[in-house]
Amino acid sequence: MNPFSSGTRLRDMIRAIRACKTAAEERAVVRKECAAIRAAISENDQDYRHRNLAKLMFIHMLGYPTHFGQMECLKLIASAGFPEKRIGYLGLMLLLDERQEVLMLVTNSLKQDLNHSNQYIVGLALCALGNICSAEMARDLAPEVERLLQTRDPNIRKKAALCSIRIIRKVPDLAENFMGPAASLLKEKHHGVLIAGVQLCTDLCKASTDALEYLRKNCTEGLVRILRDVSNSPYAPEYDIAGITDPFLHIRALRLMRMLGQGDADSSEYMNDILAQVATKTESNKNAGNAILYECVETIMGIEATSGLRVLAINILGRFLSNRDNNIRYVALNMLMKAVTVDFQAVQRHRTTILECVKDSDASIRKRALELVFLLVNDNNVKSLTKELIDYLEVSDQDFKGDLTAKICSIVEKFSQEKLWYIDQMFKVLSLAGNYVKDDVWHALIVMISNAPDLQGYSVRSLYKAFQTSNEQESLVRVTVWCIGEYGEMLVNNVGVLEMEEPMTVTESDAVDVVEVALKRHSSDIKTRAMSLVALLKISSRFPPTSERIREIVMQHKENVELELQQRSIEFNSIIQRHQNIKSSLVERMPVLDESTYIGKRVGSSQATLPADKSSRPTSGSPGASLKLPNGVAKPPPAPLVDLLDLSSDDVPAPTSSATDFLHDLLGGDLMSPSSSGGAGTDILMDLLSIGSPSAPTDVSIRNTISSNQGNAGEPKTAPASVMDLLDGLPSNSSLPGDKNPIYPSITAFESSTLKVTFSFTKQPGKPQNTMIQATFTNLSSNTYTDFIFQAAVPKFIQLRLDPASSSTLPASGNGTITQMLSVTNSQHGQKALAMRLRIVYKVNDQDKMEQGQINNFPPGL
């Protein structure tokens, strides 16, 4: 015997490995075996090749690297004998996957084996192909597989059918080739082939709509017949499972029916009877029967079924829902989610059971039930549902709390009709699970509170009470601190007490205590502490007697390691000490945060769509509250800054209008006079959005100071003029000279080597904002221009109207001109001068040309 061959048999090696007590021992044994195998491979050992491969496969299953054995698989596959091929193909499927290039080398062997005379070898090849072929291999070998779909041997036929499924998945274009053979497979009698054939048809329908049409036309009858036969067939021991003949065939046929009947009334009608029969006849005491019923219900929901059939389906689901078996209940919840779209009322009837499922001990069921509950919420039941969910929130598991909290918050937001109820629920959620509440949720809450002046007193008092009991919930602390800062005097003076409130007296120092606690807790993070500092500043202004105490508290953070807190502490201290006079105006009550703007900025939610017609308020996204400003100084309410950011992003669905894009937004654009100081000019022109209604003059100033221009669909808001003054760090617009001067010189708006454009102006007396411009285009080249189109773009506060041009052909060398009238209205006449960008497109010698430029030399006073 060859001294280098691996003498151990497979069994012995396995035994040896299992006998190892430690991982190190096991590694040693494996290393020894691998070395022996490698030696054998390099020697090209024939005799023990397939034993070596078996060993290699076992080692692979243990998790060790085995790529040196890949070529062995190929050699075994190429051998002539059946045992070698068998183990070779197995090794191939185990050790390689479709993404490796080595796989391509097998293609030739596969091709030969597919044509082998031994049916079992053909079967091996089909199996390997069906499990791991790549797209190229699929393309190469598809014709062989097609041919094999029609052999005599049912074993080969069924394998070929399944192999075709893989081919179609990898190369959907080949679907058409398999349509005909697949349809004929449905006429088989052999169950194995039938199952494979039905599955092939299902995948064909998924892959190509042509196939779907073809099969729908030709195979619906056959399919119904198959199902009928197998449903009515007598006891067949070979296929019987739990008293039902071949449930697998039932299920596959039902699934194909669903694909064929979807959206097609005729086929659906044809299927009604057999579906009703299966739904009523199938026994549901064993898993097999339930599996069939499940598939049947799915199919009924999927096709255009009659209402009677739908009622049947919902009843089955109801039965499933009250089954004690967890699997069945899980499946029922799953199905009910789809049934909600079909028959909302029927699902509502099961609401209580579903609520029970939310509290189930099984995590999978809980998750499904919660999603289903979310779909079922409507205006009528939202209050009771929310109450139940919040009660459950108290006792639920930690890992479930996050999901549950998120869902409760979105339900409350979407369906709240009264602010009081919304605020109440949110306070409860914050007290119970504040740590799981996401930031945008409590931001929304703050926006809501600021919009409800009559409830602010109530809010701050409730929060004060809640804080006493549950101050470990971070979000609760933050909201409390903010509210006390804003509405502290309502707390102390019992402003706006609602009827159901109990009387409560809170002194000023109590209020300060709360914020101090929040500030000093170990578990508070930086954001909370920062907010607390701001709140303290506000309180010191609202309750002057507490100023000194507050100053001391604030000073304690003077040397805090966090830069943010240190900065705030020092600045606030200085404000309290030295700037008493401006302190009160600094920390005035915040203006109402505009809900619609805020909500408009939040990105779409991730929840399932609701059947109720609620104008969906998208959730999540950037905060509207001012609290998160990183700059520590308590500037005057920055909220309008946020609103102004909205302004600069106007309601035009245009893409972020950077310079390159604005030219697309022509026609009806506004003419604008740039502030003649140069720098601002380009910025303004950069941000042209044509269709925006000319908003308040703040637009331009904002645009200059905030160059980021988001372009999302916020609503324009008339910002208070005072804020503009604050932020108007603009280079002052040149005050324009008296505008009654009717004579404006013509200008050369644009001149290049091939084109010249001149503008001449007229103004109507008494309408200083309107200007009529006559544009004259002259062709300076020696070619005639055709399809001449002039376009102009103007900034927002100018309106532009273009009249049709005199012609669209411009003769060469100035032999003729095109004239066009423009009329502009400058809504900032007197403050800003005109500015315009123009673009001209034309054809010369059948080539498209484009020229563009900017006009900066408008006469002042336009």
Partner 1 sequence: MIHFVILISRQGKVRLTKWYSPYSQKERTKVIRELSGLILTRAPKLCNFVEWKGYKVVYRRYASLYFCMGIDADDNELEILEIIHHFVEILDRYFGSVCELDLIFNFHKAYYILDEILIAGELQESSKKTVARLIAAQDSLVETAQEQANSISNMIAQATK
The residue ranges that bind partner 1 (CB under 8 A) are 11, 14, 18, 54, 57-58, 61-63, 65, 81-83, 86-87, 90, 93-94, 97-99, 120, 123, 126-127, 130-131, 155, 158-159, 162-163, 165-166, 169, 191-192, 195-196, 199, 238-239, 241, 246-249, 251-252, 255, 287-288, 290-291, 294-295, 298, 326-327, 329-331, 361-365, 367
167/444 with CB nearer partner 1: 167
158/568 with CB nearer partner 1: 158
238/502 with CB nearer partner 1: 238
d(CA 376, CA 373): 5
247/485 with CB nearer partner 1: 247
Strands 798-802 vs 786-793: parallel, antiparallel or unpaired: unpaired
- HSE (CB half, 13 Å, CA atoms) of 253? 30
Among 446, 451, 447, smallest CA distance to 463 is for 446
75/521 with CB nearer partner 1: 75
Report the nearest approach of partner 1 to the CB of residue 706 (Å): 41
Report the nearest approach of partner 1 to the CB of residue 278 (Å): 14
1/561 with CB nearer partner 1: 1
Exposure string over 335-360, b if 16+ CB within 10 A, otherwise e: bbbebbeebeebbeebbebbbbbbeb
- C-alpha distances out from residue 640 to 332, 622, 684, 720, Å: 50, 15, 21, 8
Give yes or no for a contact between 56 and 95, defined as CB atoms under 8 angstroms apart.
yes
d(CA 783, CA 810): 9
Among 316, 341, 349, smallest CA distance to 331 is for 316
Q: For 850, list phi and psi in degrees, rounded to 5.
A: -140, 140
Helix or strand or coil: residue 810?
Answer: strand
Token couple for 444:
């929304």
Give the sign of the dihedral formed by CA 701, CA 702, CA 704, CA 709: negative
199/268 with CB nearer partner 1: 199
d(CA 460, CA 464): 6
371/683 with CB nearer partner 1: 371
Report the nearest approach of partner 1 to the CB of residue 244 (Å): 10
Report the nearest approach of partner 1 to the CB of residue 118 (Å): 8
Give yes or no for a contact between 411 and 446, defined as CB atoms under 8 angstroms apart.
no
Report the nearest approach of partner 1 to the CB of residue 380 (Å): 31
Residues with Cβ within 8 Å of 508's Cβ and at least 6 positions away in sequence, in order, are 488, 492, 539, 543, 545, 546
β partners of residue 758: 748, 776
159/428 with CB nearer partner 1: 159
Report the nearest approach of partner 1 to the CB of residue 325 (Å): 8
Report the nearest approach of partner 1 to the CB of residue 586 (Å): 51
Residues with Cβ within 8 Å of 534's Cβ and at least 6 positions away in sequence, in order, are 485, 568, 572, 627, 634
Report the nearest approach of partner 1 to the CB of residue 68 (Å): 14
Where is 353: in which H helix or E strand? helix 351-358
241/654 with CB nearer partner 1: 241
Helix or strand or coil: residue 770?
Answer: strand
Report the nearest approach of partner 1 to the CB of residue 230 (Å): 10
Eight-class DSSP state of 118: S
Report the nearest approach of partner 1 to the CB of residue 265 (Å): 23
Eight-class DSSP state of 609: P
Token couple for 503:
């009387």
Give yes or no for a contact between 849 and 857, defined as CB atoms under 8 angstroms apart.
no
162/680 with CB nearer partner 1: 162
Question: Which one-letter amino acid corresponds to residue 852?
Answer: Q
Give yes or no for a contact between 793 and 666, defined as CB atoms under 8 angstroms apart.
yes
284/770 with CB nearer partner 1: 284
Report the nearest approach of partner 1 to the CB of residue 166 (Å): 4
Report the nearest approach of partner 1 to the CB of residue 239 (Å): 6
Q: For 166, list phi and psi in degrees, rounded to 5.
A: -65, -40
